[in-house]
């Protein structure tokens, strides 16, 4: 297991190197200058020039990249051009909120999605299956922004059950997690259902039934155990997209998360901040998928973590 | 065994989620990590900082649309409303456009107007208890005027050469040239006075976090989670009088509809800038009050006046100006928030403003001007807009429809903020590709000089760093330069009248559209609320909220 994790870490190094290079050179291709963005309209020419020199943006790109890598080796992601604060500090401040939302909505969606998916598969072709499939389609197709506003109106304005602004305690997470989780439930339901259907029609299930094994043991003990791998893969991948893709939800609920930070950084052309957020998101993504790989071995002992 | 492993993993994930959620809003800066809600009472320690009258809340919660980009007054460019709660300058605007002493008890200019002497109020204390003296004023101006290490406003303030200490409570600002708008310019937030010791200790890192901030204002910044929340406590020794509410929380809610919901659900007491469409409903909502006040800003579309643009011809610019029905545009887009049509190249609140009337739509005149310019059958222009300005895209669409009626075809380019800002600096006419572009006009100093000279005098550098549309008119140059150096304010006003007539009608630099309003929504329990024109902010230190 340790060997496997070590291998994944080593694999990560060239991947991150390539990623940083691609991101670094690509952000310089987008029109827009971070210095004029940070100094705003009407900044004098001398101060623009002085700021460019101070930030090292007057140097050739390869020199800037080499410096970035050098600092990275020391764990220094540089300073944000727009907020003048260390990038690492900015990311660490926002990371917990994003991670909390991603973990919360993944848990909610996995629990509900798996249950709904199993029910749909077991009731294949019946009314329950149809209702669940239509509902999951609606949940996938509902834009997060729209859902967030509707949930806020209902649960915050009319019922007054949950606060809608910020993320100060677990109760604040209810509406954003519901927003993000609703879409995810739809995905997980559909994936679980199709994985279950693949398994449920196989010979060994039929044999178990013929042997008089109870339906509950067949569904949960035999079928679902084998259907878990594709579900875990999907949940792992979706977790990555929840980290970076929750921008709209974060905006509506005024939660300062990584998604908003990344979008703001791009809009401000804040090069160090863009680099930093993408790097951290990539590392998280790899870590989560490594955990999923390890979980495979738990779900299916035939797979060895090697 | 395996089941137990899975169960352990799931339990760990649940625990992690709850823990992370619980600390999601906290930060290294935040002293109150367990705060249960913005509107709830702060800790006893914080409440002890100020007295609150019986029946009133000890915490005021304000929803802001955006955060300060910096709490360094000499670096801040995007939002200075909270800076004004923390710092003071020598002079400031009153609630209108008048100028009053802030840290200065009184002030006077030498006979030649080249030396301005400021007598400081005695007993003004910084938040750390230190008394403010001339040494702090000099240190702040030395940092601001340092040409070797310029800050954002070094060029803006270059009419001051240096600052001299006369005695502990008197300073001289020595001018580098005659300048007619000294007092108005000293109200800009770049002139706020910082602690000399902090300047020495933190240099250009001032304002990065709360430990680097020491002001004299009504509120002391306790914690700052950028783009999330600022918490303040009242300065018990504030020289400007009693601060009504001991604690202030400013919550950043970038989404306009979420800000509105926050006050409707009672999570905040005051909202800065609600969504325009929501305003009529909010005015009718029981328990809420909408406060509108004309500000210093305007919206409009500037012309590209370099020879490569069709708009280099004055007649074309005039034709476009006459082809537009401003009343229809403003009624359609800004009526709910009470904004009015522009009547000059300056807003009504600015020194130098004279009412030149709304330019009325005159299709015949527009067509005649087009024919005179050699385009009787119409022409095409490109127009850049940006939604960072309220209704910027909708305004562009109405302009397109109205201009089409006189045969002018408009191609709209809707850009995002970075492209917009980058387009307004360092571009040559070849690189700047739009014939018209959206622009916010206005003068934070409430003086015509800042609103006109920097933007419209001829710039020979060949790039559009300040004169965004390459406008050039020799008479405007002469008038604006003369007004800047004129010390007789009546004469200055006349010079601006002439300059505005040219910029607005005779050789228009832009289509000036609407005068902007400051708009706040308050609960009806809020008392003592008053907006300021100059900063677009409000006197939050005078606000109290009934329980």
Cβ-based contacts under 8 A for chains A and B = 197
User: Does the beta carbon of A153 lie under 8 angstroms from any beta carbon of chain B?
Assistant: yes
Q: Which of A204, A199, A207 is nearest to A122 (CA)?
A: A199
CB pair distance less than 8 Å for B152 and A39: yes
Q: Pick A44's closest partner by Cβ from B38, B155, B421.
A: B155
Residue B268 pLDDT: 94
A2-6, A194-198, B479-483 — which is least confidently predicted? A2-6
Q: What is the C-alpha to C-alpha distance for residues A290 and A9, in angstroms, rounded to an integer?
A: 9
User: Does the beta carbon of A37 lie under 8 angstroms from any beta carbon of chain B?
Assistant: yes
Q: What is the C-alpha to C-alpha distance for residues A287 and B13, in angstroms, rounded to an integer?
A: 14
What is the CA B128 to chain-centroid distance, rounded?
Answer: 28
Mapped onto helix, strand or coil, the DSSP state of residue B527 is strand
**Rounded to the nearest 5 degrees, what angle is found at the Cα of A21, between the Cα atoms of A16 and A25?**
150
Over residues A236-250, mean pLDDT: 81
Task: Find which of B7, B159, B421, B431 to mutate to test the A interface (most A CBs within 10 Å of its CB).
Answer: B421
Burial tier of A237 (Cβ tally within 10 Å: 0-12, 13-18, 19+): middle
Q: Chain A contacts of B267, Cβ < 8 Å?
A: 163-165
Is residue A256 within 8 Å of residue A247, measured between CB atoms? no
CB pair distance less than 8 Å for B261 and A164: yes
CB pair distance less than 8 Å for A47 and B154: yes
Model confidence, pTM: 0.83
Tokens 């609960």, residue located: B523
What is the CA B528 to chain-centroid distance, rounded?
Answer: 22
User: Percent of chain A scored above 90 by pLDDT?
Assistant: 8
Q: Pick B18's closest partner by Cβ from A153, A170, A252.
A: A170
Q: Closest chain B residue to A297 measured between Cα atoms? A: B2
Residue B36 pLDDT: 33
Question: Of chain A residues 50-69, which have a CB less than 8 A from chain B?
Answer: 50
Q: Chain B contacts of A37, Cβ < 8 Å?
A: 417-418, 421-422
Smallest Cα distance from A8 to chain B, Å: 20
Report whether pLDDT(A181) > 60: yes
CB pair distance less than 8 Å for B150 and A96: no
Joined together, the tokens standing for residue B542 give 């005078």
Residue B50 pLDDT: 55
CB pair distance less than 8 Å for A168 and B461: no
Q: Chain B contacts of A154, Cβ < 8 Å?
A: none
Residue B29 pLDDT: 38
What backbone torsions phi and psi does residue B351 show, to the nearest 5 degrees? -65, 135
CB pair distance less than 8 Å for B229 and A260: no
**C-alpha count within 13 angstroms, C-beta hemisphere, residue B173:** 31
Smallest Cα distance from B292 to chain A, Å: 25
pLDDT digits (tens, 9 = 90+) for A32-74: 778 887 887 777 778 888 888 888 888 888 898 888 888 888 8
Residue A305 pLDDT: 53
CB pair distance less than 8 Å for A267 and B417: yes
Residue A171 pLDDT: 87
Q: Pick A251's closest partner by Cβ from B69, B207, B254.
A: B254
CB pair distance less than 8 Å for A36 and B421: yes
Smallest Cα distance from A163 to chain B, Å: 8
CB pair distance less than 8 Å for B228 and A157: no
Rounded to the nearest 10 degrees, how much is the dihedral formed by the CA atoms of A259, A264, A266, A267? Answer: 140
CB pair distance less than 8 Å for B6 and A298: yes
Q: Identify the helix (H) or strand (E) that includes residue B115.
A: strand B115-120
Is residue B513 within 8 Å of residue B399, measured between CB atoms? no
Residue A219 pLDDT: 78
What backbone torsions phi and psi does residue B302 show, to the nearest 5 degrees? -85, 155
Residues of chain B scoring pLDDT < 50: 1-49
Q: Pick A251's closest partner by Cβ from B34, B69, B255.
A: B255
Residue B35 pLDDT: 33
CB pair distance less than 8 Å for B150 and A50: yes
Is residue A125 within 8 Å of residue A179, measured between CB atoms? no
**C-alpha count within 13 angstroms, C-beta hemisphere, residue B285:** 19
Q: Closest chain A residue to B27 measured between Cα atoms? A: A93
Report whether pLDDT(A173) > 50: yes
State the average pLDDT for chain A: 84
Q: Chain A contacts of B154, Cβ < 8 Å?
A: 44, 46-47
Q: Chain B contacts of A153, Cβ < 8 Å?
A: 261
Smallest Cα distance from B404 to chain A, Å: 31
Over residues A150-176, mean pLDDT: 87
Task: Find which of A34, A37, A39, A42 to mutate to test the B interface (most B CBs within 10 Å of its CB).
Answer: A42
Q: What is the C-alpha to C-alpha distance for residues B442 and B465, in angstroms, rounded to an integer?
A: 17
CB atoms within 10 A of CB B274: 24
Task: Find which of A29, A41, A79, A109 to mutate to test the B interface (most B CBs within 10 Å of its CB).
Answer: A41
Residue A296 pLDDT: 79
CB atoms within 10 A of CB B363: 14
Q: Closest chain A residue to B463 measured between Cα atoms? A: A45
Q: How many helices (H) and strands (E) does chain B have?
A: 17, 19
Over residues A161-187, mean pLDDT: 87
pLDDT digits (tens, 9 = 90+) for A77-89: 888 888 888 899 8
Smallest Cα distance from A123 to chain B, Å: 26
């Amino acid at each position: 297991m340790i060997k496997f994790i070590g291998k994944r870490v080593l694999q990560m190094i060239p991947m991150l190197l390539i990623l940083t290079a691609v991101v670094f050179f690509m952000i310089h291709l987008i029109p827009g200058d971070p210095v004029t963005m940070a100094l705003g309209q009407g900044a004098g020419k001398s101060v623009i020039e002085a700021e460019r020199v101070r930030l090292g943006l007057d140097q050739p790109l390869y020199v800037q990249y080499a410096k970035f890598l050098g600092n990275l080796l020391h764990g220094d992601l540089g300073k944000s051009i727009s907020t003048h604060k260390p990038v690492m500090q900015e990311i660490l401040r926002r990371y917990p909120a994003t991670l909390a939302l991603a973990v919360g909505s993944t848990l909610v969606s996995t629990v509900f999605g798996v249950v709904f998916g199993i029910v749909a598969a077991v009731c294949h072709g019946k009314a329950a299956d149809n209702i669940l499939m239509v509902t999951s389609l609606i949940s996938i197709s509902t834009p997060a922004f729209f859902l967030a506003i509707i949930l806020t109106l209902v649960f915050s304005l009319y019922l007054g059950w949950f606060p809608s602004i910020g993320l100060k305690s677990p109760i604040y997470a209810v509406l954003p997690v519901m927003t993000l989780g609703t879409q995810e439930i739809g995905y997980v339901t559909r994936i679980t259902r199709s994985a279950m259907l693949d398994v449920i029609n196989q010979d060994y299930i039929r044999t178990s039934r013929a042997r008089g094994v109870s339906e509950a043991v067949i569904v949960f003990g035999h079928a679902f155990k084998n259907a878990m791998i594709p579900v875990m893969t999907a949940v792992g991948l979706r977790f990555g997209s929840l980290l970076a893709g929750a921008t709209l939800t974060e905006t509506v609920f005024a939660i300062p998360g990584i998604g908003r930070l990344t979008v703001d950084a791009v809009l401000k052309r804040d090069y160090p901040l863009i680099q930093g957020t993408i790097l951290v998101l990539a590392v998280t993504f790899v870590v989560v998928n490594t955990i999923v790989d390890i979980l495979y071995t738990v779900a299916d002992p035939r797979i060895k973590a090697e | 065994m395996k089941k137990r492993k899975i169960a352990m993993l799931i339990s760990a994930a649940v625990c992690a989620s709850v823990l992370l959620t619980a600390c999601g809003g906290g930060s290294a800066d935040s002293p109150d990590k367990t705060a249960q809600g913005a509107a709830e009472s702060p800790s006893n320690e914080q409440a002890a900082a100020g007295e609150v009258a019986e029946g009133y809340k000890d915490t005021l919660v304000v929803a802001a649309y955006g955060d300060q980009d910096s709490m360094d007054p000499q670096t801040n460019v995007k939002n200075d409303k909270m800076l004004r709660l923390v710092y003071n300058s020598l002079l400031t605007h009153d609630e209108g456009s008048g100028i009053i002493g802030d840290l200065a008890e009184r002030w006077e200019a030498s006979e030649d107007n080249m030396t301005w002497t400021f007598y400081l109020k005695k007993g003004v204390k910084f938040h750390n208890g230190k008394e403010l003296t001339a040494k702090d004023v000099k240190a702040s101006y030395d940092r601001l005027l340092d040409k070797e290490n310029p800050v954002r406003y070094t060029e803006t303030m270059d009419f001051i050469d240096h600052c001299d200490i006369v005695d502990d409570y008197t300073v001289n600002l020595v001018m580098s040239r005659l300048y007619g708008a000294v007092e108005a310019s000293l109200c800009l937030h770049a002139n706020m006075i910082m602690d000399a010791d902090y300047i020495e200790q933190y240099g250009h890192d001032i304002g990065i976090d709360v430990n680097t901030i020491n002001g004299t204002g009504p509120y002391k910044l306790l914690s700052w989670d950028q783009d999330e929340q600022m918490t303040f406590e009242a300065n018990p020794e504030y020289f400007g009088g009693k601060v009504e509410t001991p604690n202030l929380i400013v919550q950043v809610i970038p989404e306009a509809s979420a800000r509105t919901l926050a006050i409707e659900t009672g999570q905040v007491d005051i909202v800065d800038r609600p969504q325009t469409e929501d305003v009529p409903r909010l005015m009718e909502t029981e328990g809420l009050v909408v406060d509108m006040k004309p500000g210093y800003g305007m919206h409009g579309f500037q012309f590209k006046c370099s020879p490569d643009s069709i708009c280099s011809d004055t007649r074309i610019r005039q034709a476009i100006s006459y082809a537009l029905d401003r009343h229809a545009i403003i009624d359609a887009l800004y009526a709910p928030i009470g904004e009015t049509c522009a009547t000059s190249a300056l807003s009504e609140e600015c020194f130098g403003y004279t009412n030149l009337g709304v330019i009325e739509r005159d299709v015949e005149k527009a067509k005649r001007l087009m024919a005179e310019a050699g385009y009787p059958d119409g022409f095409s222009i490109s127009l850049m807009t940006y939604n960072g300005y309220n209704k910027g895209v909708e305004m562009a669409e109405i302009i397109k429809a109205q201009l089409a009626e006189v045969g002018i075809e408009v191609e709209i380019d809707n850009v995002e903020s970075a492209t917009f800002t980058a387009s307004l600096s360092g571009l040559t006419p070849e690189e700047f590709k739009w014939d018209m572009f959206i622009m916010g006009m206005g003068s934070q100093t409430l003086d015509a000089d800042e609103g006109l000279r920097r933007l419209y005098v001829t710039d020979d550098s060949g790039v559009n760093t300040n004169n965004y549309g390459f406008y050039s008119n020799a008479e405007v140059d002469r008038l604006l330069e003369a007004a800047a150096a004129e010390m007789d304010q009546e004469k200055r006003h006349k010079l601006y009248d002439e300059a505005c007539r040219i910029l607005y009608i005779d050789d228009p630099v832009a289509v000036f559209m609407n005068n902007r309003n400051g708009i706040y929504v308050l609960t009806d329990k809020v008392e003592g609320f008053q907006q300021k024109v100059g900063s677009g902010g409000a006197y939050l230190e005078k606000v109290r909220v009934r329980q």
